[in-house]
Amino acid sequence: MEPLSAVGAAVIGSPAVGAPSAAPDAPSAPVLETGGDSAFAASLPGAVDELRGLQSQADALGVAAVTGDLDDIHAAMIASTRAAVTLELVAAVRNKGVDAFNEIMRMQA
């Protein structure tokens, strides 16, 4: 399971966790679409679903660790950290979207 694949890390401009870095001469800015549904808007529902899945996986591994059914505690810690980082990313994207909306509304006034 790729933790940031549905979040649209390429759209945001940051590489996915554990992904090799891009070549230095590769463009880091995403290609913006004009008109119609954008890839960014289409990736938002998938990002929330991916976040829910990561949180469920982290919760299940946490319960398994507490009950003693988990041999490798590292798996639980990694899943928990992935869920936390993905939640922070989704919250940051949401905050930037709200800020952009508010700025647009200020321009119209």
Query: 37-88, pLDDT tens digit by residue?
Result: 688 788 888 889 999 999 999 999 999 999 999 998 999 999 999 999 999 9
Asked if residue 84 belongs to a domain, the reply is yes
Can you give the pLDDT at residue 96? 95
Asked if residue 20 belongs to a domain, the reply is no
Asked if residue 28 belongs to a domain, the reply is no
- Neighbouring C-beta atoms of residue 76, cutoff 10 Å: 20
63: containing domain = 1-14+41-109
By CB atoms closer than 10 A (0-12, 13-18, 19+), residue 96 is exposed
| Cβ–Cβ < 8 Å for 16, 2 | yes
Q: What is the mean pLDDT of the chain?
A: 76
| Cβ–Cβ < 8 Å for 65, 73 | yes
pTM: 0.60
Q: What is the pLDDT of residues 87-108, one digit of tens each?
A: 999 999 999 999 999 999 999 8
Write the single-letter amino acid at 36. Answer: G
How many domains is the chain partitioned into structurally?
A: 1
Asked if residue 63 belongs to a domain, the reply is yes
Asked if residue 22 belongs to a domain, the reply is no
